[in-house]
Amino acid sequence: MPRHRMRSLWALISMNGFLPLRRQPLYLINTLTSPFSFLFFFYIIAPHSLLPYAVAGGMILTVLSIGTSLQADLTHYKQDLKLQEMVVASPVSAGVYVTGMALSEFVYSIPGMAVFVLLSLSFHSYLLLGGLGVFVGLVLLWIFASALGFTLATYLQDVRETFVISPLVSIALSVIPPVYYPIAFLPAWIRPLAYAIPTTWAANLIQGSIGAPGASLSLSQAFLDVAVLLLAAAILFLVAWKKAQWRET
């Protein structure tokens, strides 16, 4: 990658990631509250066999928070600060801008992800293949969450609209899909709806990779999970790219 693109990426990551975190560490605590609240809830009332599912759900919810945060930040920078207009008029490309912003949101999730990975290892000491499955699943989920945040920010005209959209998106992506529980718990009639949501495929990949009880994962199923997540992210980026009408100089 050319040096000027690397500098642009680092500037975006610092502006929206490291600097806010250094000035207000409570941002970090805020990203941990929801995933650990669900984990505590499962620890209190659920059988011990479901705790690996809760840990997998914590990983997924932590990464999904990147998308909702990206949506709010991109909308704020575009509508309130007019930053996107300045970026369009600069040599920075749309890909560098979105990638830098997505990586800046990833900064907030690193500590939480580290904790959940350590917890998953306490339940099941998965080796190379399991670790690779977790890594690929989380990276693809990050791509999907970033694509979703970019798409929503493209259509929203006011940052206040994100306060309405974000909770609805979170429910649709983390409650109906079997993120915190086995898909077998869902009634048969609602499973097709769950499979229409990309986080179901991410959950299947991660749950199987960490060895959650009853979550078997074959090689063909893993490839299918990866393909669905990549397709969902590609469609969202394509829609947002067409709608955004980005112009480069």
Q: What are phi and psi of 27, to 5 degrees?
A: -55, -40
**Mean pLDDT in residue range 80-85:** 83
- Going through the chain in order, the beta strands assigned E by DSSP cover none
- Asked if 65 and 31 count as a contact pair (C-beta separation under 8 A), the reply is yes
- Given a cut of 60, is residue 245 above it in pLDDT? no
Query: Which is it for the CA torsion 159, 144, 209, 104, positive or negative?
Result: negative
pLDDT digits (tens, 9 = 90+) for 174-190: 888 999 888 888 998 99
* Least confident span in 111-125, 146-160, 225-239: 111-125
Specify the higher pLDDT residue, 31 or 198: 198
**Mean pLDDT in residue range 155-165:** 82
Instruction: Give the N- to C-terminal CA distance of the chain in Å, as an integer.
Output: 19
Give the pLDDT band of residue 49 (cuts 50, 70, 90).
confident
Radius of gyration of the chain (CA): 18
CA–CA separation, 65 vs 58, rounded Å? Answer: 11
CA–CA separation, 27 vs 31, rounded Å? Answer: 7
Domain residue limits, the chain: 3-244
Query: Which is it for the CA torsion 231, 218, 215, 114, positive or negative?
Result: negative
- Given a cut of 50, is residue 45 above it in pLDDT? yes
- Given a cut of 80, is residue 145 above it in pLDDT? yes
Task: Give the 3-state secondary structure of 87-102.
Answer: HHCCCCCHHHHHHHHH
Give the pLDDT band of residue 171 (cuts 50, 70, 90).
confident
**Mean of per-residue pLDDT scores for the chain:** 84
* Least confident span in 39-43, 96-100, 135-139, 182-186: 39-43
For helices 51-75 and 162-174, the axis angle rounded to 10 degrees is 160
CA–CA separation, 38 vs 60, rounded Å? Answer: 12
Tell me the C-alpha to C-alpha distance, in Å, between residue 191 and each of 57, 62, 187.
18, 24, 7
Query: Which is it for the CA torsion 53, 58, 59, 65, positive or negative?
Result: positive
Tokens of 173: 């992506």
- Given a cut of 90, is residue 202 above it in pLDDT? yes
Residue-level pLDDT at 25: 81
Question: pTM of the predicted model, to two decimals?
Answer: 0.87
For helices 94-123 and 3-13, the axis angle rounded to 10 degrees is 60
Residue-level pLDDT at 231: 94
Percentage of residues of the chain with pLDDT beyond 70: 94
- Given a cut of 60, is residue 249 above it in pLDDT? no
CA–CA separation, 18 vs 105, rounded Å? Answer: 9
Give the pLDDT band of residue 46 (cuts 50, 70, 90).
confident
Tokens of 4: 């000027």
CA–CA separation, 161 vs 153, rounded Å? Answer: 10
Type of residue found at 228? V
